[in-house]
Amino acid sequence: MSRYNRHIILSDVGPEGQNKISNAKVLVIGAGGLGCPVLQYLAAAGVGTLGIIDFDIVEVSNLQRQILFGTSSLGINKALAAKERLEDLNPTIQINTYQEALTPQNALELFKNYDIIVDGTDNFETRYLINDAAVINNKPLVYGAIYKFEGQVSVFNYNNGPSYRCLFPIIPKKGSVANCSEVGVLGVLPGIIGTMQANEVLKIILGFDGVLSGKLFCYNSKTSETYTLKVKKLDSEIEKVLSEKEHFKTQIFNFNCGSKNVLLKDLHEFKNIQFIDVRELHEEPKIKLDNCIQIPLNQLNNNLDKISTTKIIIFFCQAGIRSRTAVEILKKHNITNCFSLEEGAAAIIEQLKIKA
């Protein structure tokens, strides 16, 4: 245990705390600017099992900030290149690599094998995917984000705390926020934010107080200013994710739709509507409308002939998640006269009661 002597002599860690670290299993999504320092410090700390998922390869532009890699890493998958460096840093730990993209099809099974999830990604689609998979599996999620000279850190889904959707319930339009490849980033910034993410992981493992759950820590590298915002838990956002967990693998986390989401109260603006229920046939409550048909989401591609080309299509499901996916599916078939009803079936039932 001499490798971890400086941990063990800490009265708040000791041999018992180091054993907790050695028994922990942490999945890091993305071995980029944030993932590199997270992985480096967690490996050095002796986290017993590290998972790394990244489909990308090392490019020369990465070397300005992705400190696990060198010139000899160019052209190599990032997960594999990171593993090689980390095994030299600490050969006593288990490192699992996944040379693939995180998708709705692999996320749930992958998350089950780990205690803590770390988000080192740089796009909204994947962040919502990670959040929802973490909520469904009840795994704490350590979040980090960077933009030019500013960074954020928080912990979601920890001890019944807020989720990422509680902080950002309104999904931004695709392309509305640029990533670092488009606007640049100060090279040391992901190192600072990633190290703070690693710190939050160790705090969770060791059971320390002060975990950044319900808090968003913000840092400005130009001014060295910091401030912390409170994140309020929105039970409705978490319940929405859990209500759709059986259909998680069929979702498309691609939020091009933006204005393609509508509220029930706004439907008076539309004329000549066709409602399409994309829930499974057994799901309740049943909706009885003259202008409504039911096509389960997984059968949508095979039933395009049932969809009107002259009417406005309003998709709905239980909570508004599958209906967004339905909009995306139709867009791939160049059918654009469709919208997703945000509130879902329950809101329609309530509206029908009012009219009755």
Alpha carbons 63 and 59: distance in angstroms, whole number: 7
User: How far, in Å, are 7, 13, 28, 163 from residue 208 at the CA level?
Assistant: 14, 10, 21, 20
3-class secondary structure per residue, 272-304? CEEEEECCCCCCCCCCCCCCEEECCHHHHHHHH
Using 50, 70 and 90 to split pLDDT, how confident is the model at 256?
very low
Using 50, 70 and 90 to split pLDDT, how confident is the model at 355?
low
Q: What is the pLDDT of residues 264-294, one digit of tens each?
A: 877 776 778 899 999 999 888 888 888 899 9
How many other CB atoms are there within 10 angstroms of residue 296's CB atom? 18
350 compared with 9, residue with greater pLDDT: 9
Q: Are 232 and 162 in contact (CB under 8 A)?
A: yes
Query: Which range has the worst mean pLDDT, 6-10, 110-114, 255-259?
Result: 255-259
Average pLDDT taken over every residue of the chain: 90
DSSP string of 8-24, one letter each residue:
HTSTTTHHHHHHHHHH-
Q: 156: which 2 tokens? A: 């979601």
User: How far, in Å, are 50, 71, 108, 240, 253 from residue 132 at the CA level?
Assistant: 21, 36, 9, 10, 10
Confidence check: pLDDT of 45 > 80: yes
Confidence check: pLDDT of 257 > 60: no
Q: Once rounded to an integer, what is the mean pLDDT over residues 334-354? A: 80
Q: Which residues are marked as active site? A: 180, 317
Residue 39 sits at φ, ψ, to 5 deg, of -65, -40
User: How far, in Å, are 141, 271, 327, 331 from residue 259 at the CA level?
Assistant: 29, 17, 11, 14
Q: Are 87 and 95 in contact (CB under 8 A)?
A: yes
Using 50, 70 and 90 to split pLDDT, how confident is the model at 348?
confident
Q: Which of 201, 218, 190 is nearest to 33 (CA)?
A: 190
Alpha carbons 325 and 331: distance in angstroms, whole number: 10
Confidence check: pLDDT of 255 > 50: no
User: Model's pTM, two decimal places?
Assistant: 0.76
Confidence check: pLDDT of 177 > 70: no
Q: What is the pLDDT of residues 52-91, one digit of tens each?
A: 999 888 999 999 999 999 999 999 999 999 999 999 999 9
Confidence check: pLDDT of 6 > 90: yes
Confidence check: pLDDT of 161 > 70: yes
Q: Once rounded to an integer, what is the mean pLDDT over residues 328-342? A: 85
Is the peptide bond between 162 and the residue preceding it cis, with omega within 30 degrees of 0?
A: no
pLDDT at 181: 61
- 147 Cβ contact partners less than 8 Å away, ≥ 6 residues apart: 177, 180, 183, 185
Alpha carbons 176 and 124: distance in angstroms, whole number: 10
Query: Which range has the worst mean pLDDT, 33-37, 170-174, 308-312?
Result: 170-174
Q: 166: which 2 tokens? A: 């509680």
Q: Locate tokens 């934010």: which residue?
A: 193
pLDDT at 278: 94
Alpha carbons 140 and 119: distance in angstroms, whole number: 11
Alpha carbons 297 and 264: distance in angstroms, whole number: 21
Q: Once rounded to an integer, what is the mean pLDDT over residues 297-312? A: 90
Q: Once rounded to an integer, what is the mean pLDDT over residues 84-105? A: 94
pLDDT at 173: 64
Q: Once rounded to an integer, what is the mean pLDDT over residues 304-310? A: 88
Confidence check: pLDDT of 258 > 60: no
pLDDT at 106: 92
How many other CB atoms are there within 10 angstroms of residue 266's CB atom? 12
Q: Once rounded to an integer, what is the mean pLDDT over residues 224-236? A: 95
- 234 Cβ contact partners less than 8 Å away, ≥ 6 residues apart: 162, 165, 166, 169
- Locate all alpha helices (DSSP H) within the chain, ordered by sequence: 5-8, 14-23, 35-45, 78-89, 107-111, 124-137, 164-167, 180-183, 188-206, 235-243, 322-332, 345-355
- Give the chain's radius of gyration (CA, Å): 23
What's the distance, Cα to Cα, between the start and end of the chain in Å? 72
pLDDT at 174: 60
Q: Once rounded to an integer, what is the mean pLDDT over residues 216-229? A: 96
